[in-house]
Amino acid sequence: MPRAHKSRSGSLQYWPRKRAQKETARVRSWPKVNKTVLLGFPAYKVGMTHAQVQINNPHSRLKNDLFSIPVTILECPSIKPFSLRFYKKTPYGLKAVSEILNKNFDKDLTRRLRLPKKQITSEIPKDYDEVRLICSTQPKITSIGKKKPEVLELGIGGPLESKAEYGKSWFDKEVKVVDVFKNNQLIDVHGVTKGKGFQGTIKRFGLSLKAKKSEKKKRSTGNLGAVTPSKVLYTVPQAGKMGYHLRTEVNKQILKIEPYSKETIPEYGFRHYGLVKNTYLILKGSVSGPRKRLLTLTQPMRNKKVYTYEIKRIVL
Is the distance from CB of 124 to CB of 160 less than 8 angstroms?
Answer: no
pLDDT for 36? 94
Pair (59, 94) in one structural domain: no
* Torsion 89-90-91-93 (CA) sign: negative
Question: Would you state the pLDDT for residue 61?
Answer: 80
pLDDT for residue 301: 93
Same domain, 291 and 188: yes
Q: Is the pLDDT of residue 140 over 80?
A: yes
- Indicate if 315 and 244 belong to the same structural domain: yes
User: What is the per-residue pLDDT for 248?
Assistant: 95
Helix (H, G, I), strand (E, B) or coil at 90: strand
Name the domain count of the chain. Answer: 2
CATH code assigned at 187? 2.40.30.10
DSSP label at residue 210? P
- Cβ atoms of residues 256 and 5 within 8 Å: no
In a domain, 1, yes or no: no
Query: Taking 70 as the threshold, does the pLDDT of residue 3 lie above it?
Result: no
pLDDT tens for 162-220 read 999 999 999 989 999 999 999 999 999 999 999 999 999 999 888 888 888 888 888 98
Q: Does 90 lie in the same domain as 170?
A: yes
Instruction: Report strand pairing: 309-315 vs 186-192.
Output: unpaired
Output the pLDDT for position 217: 86
> What mean pLDDT is predicted for residues 122-144?
92
For residue 171, the enclosing domain spans 79-175
pTM for the model stands at: 0.91
* Whole-angstrom distance, CA of residue 228 vs CA of residue 21: 36
φ, ψ of residue 153 in degrees (nearest 5) = -110, 130
In the predicted structure, residue 4 carries a pLDDT above the cut 70 = no
Q: Are residues 189 and 288 in the same domain?
A: yes
Query: Is there a domain that residue 8 lies in?
Result: no
